[in-house]
Chain A
Amino acid sequence: MAAPRRLFYRSETRFLLLGLPGVMFVVFFLLFPIVSVIVFSFWRTESYEIYADWNLDNYRTVLFEGTYLTFLWRSIVTAVVVTAACLVYAWPVAYFIAKYGGRYRLLLVLALAAPFFTGAVLRLSALQAIMGPIGVINMALGMFGLPAVEFLMFNKFASGIGIAYLYLPFMVTAIYLSLLNFNFQLLNVAKVNGARPWRAFLTVTWPLNWIGTAIGITLVFIPCLAESLTPTFLGGPSGKLYGSVLGLQFDQTGTWALGSAMGVLLFAVCCVVIAVMWWTIDLRRTGFTGAGR
């Protein structure tokens, strides 16, 4: 009986047992799909058939014909604007909860997940009911004899609101978790040394919580790049984003090879974003660890 027990406690065995589930997950759910998509992207589709004719045509189409870059550009702009809006909105919310939430802090953070209690389509229908032509906002305006506002539905602005609504909780949670580790006494020290509130925020609070902010930015920016459902429901005829068109290749037109090339390009953009965010983080200033970068 002793031998197997010793085997279990050997550090290599423990390392393998603990690491294996994670490795399997990465291999089966990340590497395999990515490798498949990369392989497909060099193949060809014709009338819903895929042929293993190795070529670069899909990349030529995606990178040089302009149409797909237009969608990518739209998605990048949307992601930048939505992420910036979420950042501005999330910081005060997270700060308030972390500093003044008291024993309700966890409850308040969990309440942010309330929109996720329902399905995505239902959430979008609810947004239509609020912002739509006969939604709550326009009905209220009508009651006061004011004309209905049209910019709230079926355009890029409406789509942006819908996406921000969807991903804001991620940003708030990431910043809140960072602020939990933050020593608010440092602000008093800054104040005693003559720093005004804004100066204290910019030189103490912001840099020491950059890791949470950076994680929040990443968690919002990357899904925004691939967002497809919200623009389809709220974006109107000119609001289609890269994710919507990517979905079209697989759901409807059967142009999987072209869709795969689009997927590889999106993956590359996401990798660049993650690399940039990683580069900006200095773990020595996070409060989480004393380790170097």
Chain B
Amino acid sequence: MTTSDRKTLLAAKAFNRRTVLKSGAAASAVGFTAKATGPFVRDAHAAELELRVLMWANYNVESTVTAFEQQHGVRFAPTYFDGNSEAFNKMKAGGTQDFDLVQADGHWPRTYHKQGLTQIVDPAKVPNLANAYPACVPPKYTLDQVEGGTDWVAIPNCWGGYGVTINTSMVDAADAESIEVLYNEKYKGHIITSARFEENIAETGILVADRMGTRDAARPDGKPFNPYVLTDEELEECKTWLIKQKGLLLTRYVEYDMVDRLMISGQAWMSPEWGITFRRLLAMHRNGELDWQARHVLKPTEGGLGWIDNWMISSGVEDAEKREICYAWINNFLSDENMLKVLREEGTSSVIDIRKHLTEIEIEDFLLNETEQISGLYMFDQPSSPEKWERVWSEVEAA
């Protein structure tokens, strides 16, 4: 046996299961001791800030998020919701510790702030807000400020209505002017509505208050009519209308794609929606892919629902660095570049005036010369009594 062979044999003997386990244990122990007693070295992944956002899914523009992450060294962690009540519920159930930013529309920002879920925001830290339409910011639009005060509780980003999109080849123009079109026997089996309980009841509430003559009368709370603050009699009447409507519905949609599919196929002739499907239908018609013209009735004769979406900073954000990142995100979101993407890719109107970047057709489709209409719409709000509204909705669903 040569010296070389002996070395090989010794090495082989030394390299068995036991030595491997022993060496591994020793290495682990050394590593653990070094970690425990040595200087603290922050893990690169742990050092990365995370911006936890509770938001509407359609505002997650991938290219904007990627650029923001790279520029600020943060990780964007979105969680989506489908309705204001759902997001509010999440925030109430410990969400202030889980989310840094949250979105809401209409009256909701005030409710969030009153409940201590969000904090006062400084619009001066969002320079891009300077280009907002006057109709979307104080003094014309004050729902983003505390009631009766001047402190801001939210920063607006997009606006729209919850009008009724109509297939003009199937629905009479005169019928389309009223919310009652959604309860018209003539269109049985071709009406779809959202599955959200609040907007179904609120929209019916506008119609009911109009028919009962209570809309313009003195309200029990002394405030102007708000379809989210209905009397027991109005709620009872809403239930009757909604039960009647059930027999006329094709379905209630839970995703926007469903509205697109049903409207494009011609199965559905009308749907209350956020105008997103309407713009797709318009584009298809213009491209010759659809032989009928769509129409969006933003404000029916009885009145319509509208919204201005906002960003709010959670009350759980106490760290100054995190707060600055929140402002950076909001400002970045309101940049012309991102607002263009939101408008073109997601089909939502911006509160920032970006008309100089748009074509005449786009300005028309997105009603950007008609932003003053916002003040004529009833803004989304929290139901005055979720318990009563739940009961009405469950009874409608069970009927």
Residues of A near any B CB (own CB < 8 A): 45-49, 66-68, 70-71, 121, 125, 128, 132-134, 153-154, 232-233, 236-238, 240, 244-245, 248-255, 258
Contact = CB atoms under 8 A, between A and B. Distances in A.
B398 A154 contact: no
Nearest to A249: B390
A252 B86 contact: yes
Interface of B: 83, 85-86, 88-89, 92, 115, 195-198, 246, 249-252, 254-255, 257-258, 261-262, 265, 267, 382, 385-387, 389-391, 393-395, 397-398
A67 B394 contact: yes
Given A48-B85, A245-B397, 12 more contacts: A45-B387, A70-B398, A232-B254, A237-B252, A238-B246, A240-B397, A240-B398, A248-B197, A248-B394, A253-B387, A255-B386, A258-B390
Contacts of A67: 391, 394-395, 398
Given A48-B92, A238-B246, A254-B85, A133 B397 contact: no
A205 B86 CA distance: 50
Contacts of A240: 397-398
A70 B399 CA distance: 9
A47 B394 contact: no
Majority secondary structure, B binding face: helix
B394 A245 contact: yes
A134 B386 contact: no
A233 B254 CA distance: 7
Given A237-B249, A245-B397, A253 B385 contact: no
A242 B83 CA distance: 21
A225 to B, nearest CB: 17
B251 A236 contact: yes
A254 B89 contact: yes
Contacts of B196: 252
A226 to B, nearest CB: 17
A128 B195 CA distance: 17
Contacts of A237: 246, 249, 251-252
B390 A255 contact: yes
5 contacts: A48-B89, A66-B398, A70-B398, A233-B254, A252-B198
A154 B251 contact: yes
Nearest to B91: A48
Contacts of B197: 248, 252-253
